[in-house]
Every structure is written in C-alpha cells, then in structure tokens.
C-alpha cells in the first residue's frame, strides 16, 4: 500500500489488515497475527514542543531549518523501497550540513508506538504498510505537525508557486483531519483491474467495458484453461480497491459518502452495493477465481498472475514495482478503469485514483522543521521524477512525469488517469476506519469469494459492522461533504 493503503509489503498505503486495540495505552494486542498500530501518549494539541530548533528564514530556507541539526527519517520499506527517500535525504544533508538517521522498515507501527508514547518520535515518517500508526488517534492527540507552513512555502522549482499550488487538489483534501492538514500523501495511486496486455493480445481478448462483459469474458478465459481472476486471499481487503470504487461509480459519490460517514442503511439502502456484491458472488459461484487464491499473500497472487495462471488482479499502481522480480520482460503490464453497471452515476472511464503513501511529521520530534523541509525537497520535480523512475509510480506533484519515458505499467496508469479527466473517485473509508474495512469487511469478502457467504448476507453483515463503529465512542469519527 501503497498506495490506500496498505499492503504489508507495498506502498498504500493503502490498506492494512490490523486490529487496533491497545493494552495499557502502549502495547498493542495482536489479533489475526497483526499488531495494532494504535499509538498513545500525550493528551492533546496544547502539549506541542516549543523548544524545537529554528534557524533564520530566507528565500532558500523558507521554513527556517536550523543548520547542523540532525534529522531522523523512518521510512516504510515495502513495494516502493526506500531509496527514493534516501536520495532526498542526501540533498537535505548537503544543504543543511546535518546528519540524517534513516531507518527503512516494514514494521512502522510496532517500532514507533512506544516512541510516540514516550515522547521521542522520529521527525518524519512514511506511515504505510500493515501495522501502520493510527493517524486519526495521533492527530487527535496533537502528535502530528500542522503542515500549513509547508503548503504555504515556495516550491523548490518555482518560488512564485507555493507548494500547495503544485500538488493535486485531492492531496490537500485527503491529508486533513478536520480543518488541519497534517498528512502529506506523497504518492498518487491508480487503482483498478490489472492485466497483461500481451496475454490479451495473444488470445484476442478485449478488456471489458461492463460488469456483464467481464462475466462473459471470464467464461471464455476459463475455457482456455486459465483462471480469470486471482487475489491476495490472505489480505482480501485488496479486493476492496475495486469493489468499493465500483459501488461509488455506479451509485454515485453522495451514496458512497454516506458509507464513508457511517450513516445508517448506507450499505443496505444502496442499490449499487447490491449490484456489485452480487457480481462478485457470481464470479465466485462460477469459480472464476484461481483455485487456492484464498491462501495466497499479495506477493504469491501477483506471482501467479505474472505466470499467466490468472488474467486479472485487483491492485494499485505500486504493483509494477513490487512484482518486478517475477514479471516477464514482454508482459505489457496494464490497468483498466472501472466497469459500467446499470444506471451509473459516473461515466465510462471513471477511475479510482487518489493520494497514497502517507507522510507525517511528528510535532514532538526533535526537528519538525527539518521534517517539513525534507518533504519540500521530495516535492521538487527532480525528486518526483526520481520516484517515478525508481518505483514506477506517480507522485502527488502535478505533471511531474511530463517528458519522461515511462515503464509499461506506469504509462498505462498515466494514460487511464488522463483519460478519466475529472472523473476520479477518492474514497475515505479504508483510510479512516481500516479496522472496519480491512479486518471486519475483509473477512466477509474472503467468505464471499470462496462461496461461503451470499451477497445478501455480506451486505447485511457489512452494515452491522459499520453500525458498530458508528456507535463506538472510542473511535474518532470524520465527516466528508465532497
């Protein structure tokens, strides 16, 4: 994940199978084999560090970074790796004559929960992967640096433009907790149905436009002795990258926002939910998923897909970099937009594309200004293009890939992104309530795809789980209006 999410060995952020339950406010209680990402410590925003170092501000140092003050960066090292961050850190080190302590890890939450609780967090964190830190809780505790100064600082490439002017508008919206912008989603993930263009061309198949066409094509694919679909059965929330967005495309964003906002009957009263979940029930009933997919990790499912054991896989654009070790050179990795259903509220070509890979700066770190400056460096065109080259993924920097020679998957992602125009969907449920979506609903989806659960029961139980969260006063709630 990422980039939402999560994926325990990826960039999205995206998208994390975790149980958020803390014991004694410090030690996470393992559930389903995963550690909680719930950090505690501190009792609100009035307790912010006041002795953080500050240097003289200038045209070249608008954030007032103090020379020579060390910076600590904690970077999720999954499908995107962490070299791109090291490259930006090298520029920071050269500019500010400061040491940078870099940690690359796949265990952000388990390693940093006690540090936040103890009041000594690192300065800047790429908070991704399974077991990431609970940003909702950190924000409510005043643990996250307000990044307004970063947004209002001049961009590195063009001082006439502020940082806020060079990043995608959805990045500004997604990074807010209430009215405070305290999370910078650095990557920009294209979600969808991924496939090999070469395989489709070799077989004379065409990427389907509608849900019905997909079912028909699956029948043809199965006759060829290939599984139409595979998925990360160990982490079935991967399927939500498509399933949730498909609901939003058909039913419209107003209906989806009711789901994001945990409103009563948001699942059970939405016809699009019924249509989409029944579609997945049909795929399962006709055995259109690769046998054994329920036992595969994301890496194993991607490897099976690369070996032509399955045609389609639901994923995010980090997959090209993550699956690179097993991807044939002539694979022709590509991604397709969402399918049309009946009476769609959004046009053909609509795409789920949204900010991912959440970066945070600790307000109680030793050098929060340095943390913000590192992000400003990463948002330069040079480093945005370096990210695209190294990890085959877009960043939130608008138009950064222009003029570049892109890898097949990234070129395809960029193409469908441009074709979608303003018809882009951004969903919050997996970001705001990952314990609900990834554990509870993920468990239901796992049963749906093996045929153990019918669509009607999935919907009924999904609503019940959402209602539980809505009534749980211990869970911070968020509301969206657009």
Look at residue 19 in the predicted model and tell me its pLDDT: 30
Tokens of 101: 């302590």
Provide the strand spans (E) within 170-242: 176-177, 180-181, 184-196, 227-229
Percentage of the chain beyond pLDDT 70 is: 89
99 pLDDT higher than 80: yes
What's the first-to-final CA gap in the chain, in angstroms?
24
Average pLDDT, integer, range 162-180: 93
CATH topology of domain 71-187+356-413: D-Maltodextrin-Binding Protein; domain 2 (3.40.190)
Average pLDDT, integer, range 347-364: 96
46 pLDDT higher than 80: no
Average pLDDT, integer, range 180-202: 97
Residue-wise pLDDT tens digits, 207-234? 999 999 999 999 999 999 999 999 999 9
Look at residue 79 in the predicted model and tell me its pLDDT: 79
Residue-wise pLDDT tens digits, 2-16? 333 334 333 333 333
Instruction: Flag the least confident range among 64-73, 130-139, 208-217, 332-341.
Output: 130-139
Average pLDDT, integer, range 119-128: 97
Q: Are 209 and 336 in contact (CB under 8 A)?
A: no
Which residue has tokens 């999560």?
Answer: 6
Burial 116-150 (b: 16+ CB within 10 A, else e): bbeeebbbbbbbbbbbbbbbbbbbbbbbbbbbebb
Could you tell me where the DSSP H helices lie in 311-441? Answer: 319-322, 368-378, 381-391, 408-420, 429-432, 434
pLDDT band at residue 476, thresholds of 50, 70 and 90?
confident
Look at residue 26 in the predicted model and tell me its pLDDT: 22
Mean pLDDT of the chain: 89
> Which one is the CATH code of 190-353+426-470: 1.20.1260.10, 3.40.50.10310, 3.40.190.10, 3.10.20.740?
3.40.190.10
Look at residue 51 in the predicted model and tell me its pLDDT: 66
105 pLDDT higher than 50: yes
Look at residue 20 in the predicted model and tell me its pLDDT: 28
| Domain extent listing, the chain | 71-187+356-413, 190-353+426-470
Look at residue 53 in the predicted model and tell me its pLDDT: 86
Percentage of the chain beyond pLDDT 90 is: 80
Look at residue 273 in the predicted model and tell me its pLDDT: 98
Average pLDDT, integer, range 155-166: 97
Look at residue 406 in the predicted model and tell me its pLDDT: 92
1 pLDDT higher than 60: no
Average pLDDT, integer, range 363-387: 97
49 pLDDT higher than 80: no
Burial of 403 (0-12, 13-18, 19+ CB in 10 A): exposed
Look at residue 431 in the predicted model and tell me its pLDDT: 83
31 pLDDT higher than 90: no
Burial of 248 (0-12, 13-18, 19+ CB in 10 A): buried
Average pLDDT, integer, range 57-68: 96
41 pLDDT higher than 70: no
27 pLDDT higher than 90: no
Residue-wise pLDDT tens digits, 64-89? 999 999 999 999 998 789 999 999 99
Question: Is it true that 71-187+356-413 and 190-353+426-470 share their CATH fold?
Answer: yes
3-class SS of residue 308: coil
Q: What is the pTM of this model?
A: 0.79
Q: Which helix (H) or strand (E) holds 412?
A: helix 408-420
Average pLDDT, integer, range 266-275: 98
d(C-alpha 69, C-alpha 75), whole Å: 19
Look at residue 43 in the predicted model and tell me its pLDDT: 39
């Amino acid at each position: 994940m990422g980039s939402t999410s999560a994926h325990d060995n990826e960039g999205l952020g995206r998208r994390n199978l975790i149980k958020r339950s803390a014991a004694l406010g410090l030690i996470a209680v393992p559930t389903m084999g995963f550690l909680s990402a719930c950090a505690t410590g501190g009792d609100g925003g009035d307790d912010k560090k006041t002795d953080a170092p500050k240097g003289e501000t200038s045209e070249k140092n608008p954030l007032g970074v103090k020379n020579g003050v060390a910076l600590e960066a904690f970077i999720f090292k999954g499908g995107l790796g962490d070299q791109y961050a090291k490259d930006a850190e090298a520029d920071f080190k050269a500019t500010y004559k400061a040491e940078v302590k870099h940690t690359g890890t796949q265990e952000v939450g388990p390693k940093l929960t006690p540090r936040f609780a103890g009041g000594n967090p690192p300065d800047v964190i790429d908070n991704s992967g399974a077991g990431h830190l609970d940003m909702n809780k950190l924000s409510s505790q005043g643990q996250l640096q307000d990044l307004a100064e970063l947004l209002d600082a001049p961009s590195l490439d063009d001082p006439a433009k502020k940082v806020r002017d060079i990043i995608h508008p959805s990045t500004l919206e997604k990074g807010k907790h209430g009215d405070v912008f305290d999370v910078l989603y650095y990557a920009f993930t294209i979600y969808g149905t991924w496939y090999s263009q070469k395989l489709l061309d070799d077989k004379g198949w065409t990427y389907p436009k509608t849900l019905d066409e997909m079912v028909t094509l699956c029948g043809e694919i199965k006759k060829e002795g290939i599984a139409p679909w595979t998925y990360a059965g160990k982490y079935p929330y991967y399927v939500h990258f498509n399933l949730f967005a498909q609901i939003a495309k058909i039913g419209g964003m107003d209906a989806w926002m009711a789901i994001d906002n945990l409103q009563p009957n948001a699942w059970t009263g939405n016809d699009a939910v019924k249509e989409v979940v029944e579609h997945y029930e049909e795929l399962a009933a006709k055995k259109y998923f690769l046998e054994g997919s329920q036992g595969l990790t994301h890496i194993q499912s991607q490897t099976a897909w690369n070996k032509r054991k399955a045609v389609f896989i639901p994923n995010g654009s980090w997959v090209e970099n993550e699956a690179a070790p097993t991807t044939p050179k002539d694979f022709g990795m590509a991604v397709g937009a969402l399918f049309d259903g009946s009476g769609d509220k959004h046009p053909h070509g609509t795409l789920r594309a949204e900010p991912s890979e959440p970066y945070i700066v600790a307000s109680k770190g030793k050098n929060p200004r340095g943390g913000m400056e590192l992000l400003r460096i990463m948002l330069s065109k040079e480093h945005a293009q370096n990210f695209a080259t190294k990890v085959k993924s877009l960043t939130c920097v608008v138009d950064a890939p222009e003029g570049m020679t892109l890898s097949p998957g990234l070129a395809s992602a960029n193409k469908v992104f441009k074709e979608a125009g303003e018809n882009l969907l951004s969903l919050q449920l997996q970001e705001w309530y990952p314990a609900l979506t990834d554990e509870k609903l993920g468990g239901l989806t796992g049963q749906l795809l093996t045929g153990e659960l019918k669509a009607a029961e999935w919907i009924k139980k999904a609503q019940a789980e959402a209602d539980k969260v809505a009534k749980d006063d211990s869970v911070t709630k968020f509301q969206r209006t657009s």
